[in-house]
Structure formats: C-alpha cells, structure tokens
Amino acid sequence: MKIQGRALLHICCAPDATVPWKELLDGGMETVGYFYGSNIQPENEYKKRLNAVIQLSEFFGAPVLIDSYDPLSWLIKLKGNLYFPEGGVRCALCIKTQIERAAQIANSKGFTCLGTTLTISPHKKPGLINGIGRSVARRYGLRWIDVIWRKNNGFLRSVEMSKRLGLYRQNYCGCILSIRGEKNGAK
C-alpha cells in the first residue's frame, strides 16, 4: 500500500493491528501505533490487550504511543447512551471518541495521516468507521487512511498472524456492555 506521509494508526487491539500496521510499514510509510484503551474493561483485560500491543510493536520494530487508561472519562462521555444495543449509538460514539483522541494526538505530534485498525473486524461497520474518520481527520487537517482492512482476507490473515505471534485474542469488543452482548449471543 503506497500512501505518502507520516501516519498515526489507531489500534483497538493487537490482533486487529497485525495486517494494517504491516501493510503500511511494508508500503514504506512511517507508521506509529496509537493505543487508546479507556473503553476496555475490566482493567486486567486492558492490561492483557496493552501487553499484546507492545509485543506487536516490538515485533514490527515500530513505536506505539499509549494513552492513559481512564475508563471513567470514557463512561462519562458515553453517559445516556450506554444501554443502546451492540453496534448502535453507543458503539458509534465510542468509535468517534477513540478516533477524535487519535486525531488530537496526531495533530499535536506532527503526523500528516490518520487511520484505524477497526475496519478489519467483520463485526464492525466500515462505512460508519471511515465516515467518522474522514470527518474527524478533516477537522484536524489530517489525511484519513480510507481502507477497509478486512478486504482481501484481511481478517483471516490477522487471525493467522496473531496465532503465529502468540498474541492475546479477546472474545469481546472492549466495554463491559459488549461483554453482556457476547454472553447473550450478540456481536
């Protein structure tokens, strides 16, 4: 993938970052990972995911910026929308919160491009994610990396690479409400 510039790649989790981070780096783009995990609960789950992101960063030899863990601020931002079903308003606000924070970091550190690993998941809506990303990136003067990473077997390749590297793979999106959704059979 040939995109010019210096990119900050928002990482939701290490498995989902495997393919996007590799493709950007292989395309010659200076790509720094950015891990926002305030939506991830409980804290021991956050730590497992953080350690996996650090492991992947070390494997690629690429830096990763780690934001502070502040689940209370995440809950406050989403208050009033917490009990919407999985994939609805709550998730859209969560995605916007994460991409907005990534854009702030990218802008303050001189990046020219911003992207996310979220579109690799078959459980997410890439049109929604990239729409939010384009809008947020434009406001911060950044170029959005408008890719649906799950195309070309991206998700399958991420699963295979995660297994090869021994990365921790979670079974829910991140917030405590998505745990409830997974237990009820929702995705």
Residue 4 in this model has a pLDDT that exceeds 90:
no
> Is 175 a member of any domain?
yes
Q: What is the spatial distance between Cα 21 and Cα 6, in angstroms, rounded to a whole number?
A: 13
Number of structural domains found in the chain: 1
Higher pLDDT, 89 or 115: 115
> Is 1 a member of any domain?
no
> Is 163 a member of any domain?
yes
- pLDDT tens digits for range 141-166: 999 999 999 999 999 999 999 999 99
> Is 178 a member of any domain?
yes
Judging by beta carbons within 10 Å of its beta carbon (0-12, 13-18, 19+), is residue 165 exposed, middle or buried?
middle
> Is 166 a member of any domain?
yes
Whether this model's pTM surpasses 0.75: yes
Domain span at 131: 6-183
DSSP-derived letter for residue 32 is E
> Is 170 a member of any domain?
yes
CATH code, domain with 36: 3.40.50.620
Give residue 180's pLDDT.
Answer: 58
Give residue 186's pLDDT.
Answer: 38
Comparing CA positions, the residue from 177, 181, 170, 144 lying closest to residue 53 is 170
CA distance to 13, 18, 78, 107, 157, per residue, from 124 (Å)? 14, 17, 18, 26, 17
For 64-79, b/e burial (b = at least 16 CB within 10 A) is bbeeebebeebeebbe
Q: Hey, how many other C-beta atoms are within 10 angstroms of the C-beta on 152?
A: 11
